[in-house]
């Protein structure tokens, strides 16, 4: 059996620790924060549990992984019906999209253009050299122009034609207008728009995974950032809080550039420079406390237009039936930005005012908030730019070549995957261990190839 050090107590790291411990391996998890979950954690604002943005557990989760989550969550995992809206052409349309609502809300000329472009796909230019061209080819110019183009620019901070095709492949499941029609038909049925959510917040899943891993024998070390990783021929030593821990293997869920920065021997300077050139879009989460039981009946509002700073607004109380204060609600506005820019450096009062102004501009009620809290996420969306595609490959290969170290998970592989995807990665990683605890690299390489087919569930 192997002695394994795991960096990061998000869903990927915790699931890997649980699966490995259940097979008899000796696991220790190191987490820089004081609690588990990473970006899938929950915390308290004004007495109410909230998440770091909008999260859901999707029915697309593989049955055996869903069964595990149901087992550790028990009755706290609730089945909910999605009730969101998306702003298209200054009109609020139900999301997931539903046929009757689209017909009623979308301008007739836009609907006709989309329908016509669905039929003419076989005659469109099939060349896809960037994200925008990919969306144009697959779904038509109107969908690219009205929705995916501006939303991509808002999320990633660059023009959509500067993004690689891979973003479209990973974030958009539909390959044609007919796929969209099928999804709309599915969403029209109640069974086609459900999700699962814990009564005390999405972070409960990670908290229960941590408990299960600990009960299986995993040691959990919080407030324990890694400052050095020394890879040798037969072992890996990591330094945390001034102490050195030695393992046969280290599994890392931190971003590859961060891993390379602490690795010894240090990679070549050209590799480190390539890693530093990669950009990740940051986000400030703006929480508004509102002194009334409910702001709107909707769980989430999606806002693709670049004329507002908010990309998505969620109301956590509408995601569950939980022990929330009855006389107030909390809104979470997701505001994409760059680490260190004007948004990032704005005060709670300034961002609270900007968010409130955006909501009123879009025809939503004046929140009349009484309190604002901010959370800062420095690395949310990896920006797959054409300019840095070679640097991204160089960085990933360098991270994967560190002796006895494996990178996996959303941050480790630099992908925008969901929780059920990263749990699948964890399972494959543990299953790639041979009977003596050594990593079967051919098995793991095959698994890595399968992860490229993951498509984000929104």
- 203 within 8 A of 9, measured Cβ to Cβ: no
What confidence tens digit (pLDDT) does each residue in 49-69 have?
999 999 999 999 999 999 999
Q: How large a percentage of the chain has pLDDT more than 70?
A: 94
Contact 168, 138 (CB under 8 A): yes
Half-sphere exposure of 200 (CA within 13 A, CB side): 14
CB 149 within 8 A of CB 172: no
Q: pLDDT value at position 177?
A: 56
- Mean pLDDT, to the nearest integer, of 115-141? 81
Check residue 438 and give left, alpha or beta (phi > 0: left; psi -120 to 50: alpha).
beta
Q: Tell me, what's the pLDDT at 138?
A: 84
Q: Mean pLDDT over residues 291-319, rounded?
A: 98
What sign for the dihedral angle of Cα 213, 219, 221, 225?
Answer: negative
pLDDT category of residue 99 using cuts at 50, 70 and 90: low
* Per-residue pLDDT, 124: 74
CATH of domain 280-382: 3.90.660.20
Residue 9 confidence (pLDDT) above 80: yes
CA–CA separation, 137 and 146 (whole Å): 15
Residue range 3-42+202-278+386-451, CATH number: 3.50.50.60
- The answer on pLDDT for 140 being more than 80 is yes
Query: For residues 22 and 13, what is the distance between their CA atoms, to the nearest angstrom?
Result: 14
Given this model, what pLDDT does residue 259 score?
98
> 373 forms bridges with which residues in the sheet?
287
The mean per-residue pLDDT over the stretch 292-296 comes to: 98
Determine the pLDDT at residue 174. 60
- Name the residue with tokens 């550790």: 72
Residues ≥6 apart with Cβ < 8 Å to 102: 93, 111, 184
Q: Which residues contact 198 (CB under 8 A, 6 or more apart)?
A: 73, 76, 77, 78, 204, 205, 320
Average pLDDT over residues 116-129: 76
pLDDT at 188 > cutoff 60: no
Task: Name the nearest CA neighbour of 220 among 456, 7, 403.
Answer: 7
Predicted local distance difference test score (pLDDT) of residue 178: 52
User: pLDDT grade, residue 230 (50/70/90)?
Assistant: very high
pLDDT attached to residue 455: 87
DSSP 134-201: HHHHHH-HHHIIIIIHHHHHHHHSS-GGGB-HHHHHHH---SSHHHHHHHHHHHHSGGGGEEEEETT-
Within a 10 A sphere around the Cβ of 214, how many other Cβ atoms?
A: 17
pLDDT at residue 126 in the model: 73
| Both structure tokens of 265 | 């021997």
- Res 173: pLDDT: 63
Q: Which two tokens stand for residue 340?
A: 């260190």
pTM above 0.85, yes or no: yes
Least confident range of 9-13, 24-28, 108-112? 108-112
* 192 pLDDT higher than 70: no
- Name which CATH class applies to 84-193: mainly alpha
Give residue limits of the domains in the chain.
3-42+202-278+386-451, 84-193, 280-382
């Amino acid at each position: 059996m192997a002695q394994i050090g795991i960096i990061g107590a998000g869903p990927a790291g915790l699931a890997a620790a649980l699966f490995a411990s259940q097979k008899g391996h000796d696991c220790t998890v190191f987490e820089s924060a004081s609690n588990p979950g990473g970006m899938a954690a929950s915390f308290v604002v004004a007495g109410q549990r909230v998440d770091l943005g909008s999260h859901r557990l999707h029915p697309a989760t593989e049955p055996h992984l869903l069964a595990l989550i149901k087992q550790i969550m028990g009755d706290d995992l609730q089945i909910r019906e999605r009730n969101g809206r998306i702003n298209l052409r200054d009109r609020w349309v139900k999301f997931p999209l539903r046929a009757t609502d689209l017909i009623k809300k979308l301008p007739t000329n836009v609907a006709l253009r989309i329908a016509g472009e669905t039929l003419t796909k076989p005659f469109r230019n099939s060349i896809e050299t960037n994200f925008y061209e990919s969306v144009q080819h697959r779904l038509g110019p109107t969908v690219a122009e009205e929705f995916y183009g501006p939303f991509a620019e808002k999320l990633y901070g660059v023009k959509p034609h500067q993004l690689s095709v891979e973003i479209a492949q990973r974030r958009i499941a539909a390959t044609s207008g007919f796929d969209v029609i099928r999804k709309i038909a599915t969403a029209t049925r109640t069974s086609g728009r459900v999700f699962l959510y814990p009564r005390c917040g999405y972070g409960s899943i990670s908290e229960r995974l941590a408990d299960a891993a600990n009960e299986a024998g995993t040691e959990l070390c919080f407030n324990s950032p890694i400052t050095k990783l020394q890879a040798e021929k037969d072992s890996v030593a990591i330094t945390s809080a001034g102490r050195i821990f030695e393992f046969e293997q280290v599994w890392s869920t931190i971003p590859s550039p961060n891993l390379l920065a602490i690795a010894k021997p240090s990679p070549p300077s050209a590799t480190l420079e390539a890693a530093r050139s990669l950009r990740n879009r940051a986000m400030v989460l703006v929480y508004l406390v509102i002194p009334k039981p409910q702001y709107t009946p909707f769980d989430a509002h999606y806002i693709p237009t670049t004329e507002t700073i908010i990309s998505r607004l969620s109301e956590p109380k509408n995601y569950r039936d939980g022990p929330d204060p009855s006389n107030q609600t909390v809104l979470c506005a997701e505001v994409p930005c760059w680490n260190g820019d004007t948004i990032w450096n704005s005060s709670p009062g300034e961002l609270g005012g900007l968010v409130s102004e955006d909501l009123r501009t879009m025809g939503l009620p004046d929140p009349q908030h009484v309190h604002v809290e901010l959370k800062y996420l420095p690395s949310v969306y990896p920006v797959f730019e054409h300019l840095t595609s070679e640097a991204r490959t160089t960085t990933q290969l360098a991270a994967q070549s560190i002796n006895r170290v494996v990178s996996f998970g959303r941050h480790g592989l630099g992908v925008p995957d969901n929780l059920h995807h990263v749990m699948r990665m964890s399972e494959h990683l543990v299953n790639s261990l041979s009977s003596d605890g050594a990593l079967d690299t051919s098995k793991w390489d095959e698994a890595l190839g399968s992860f490229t087919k993951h498509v984000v569930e929104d």
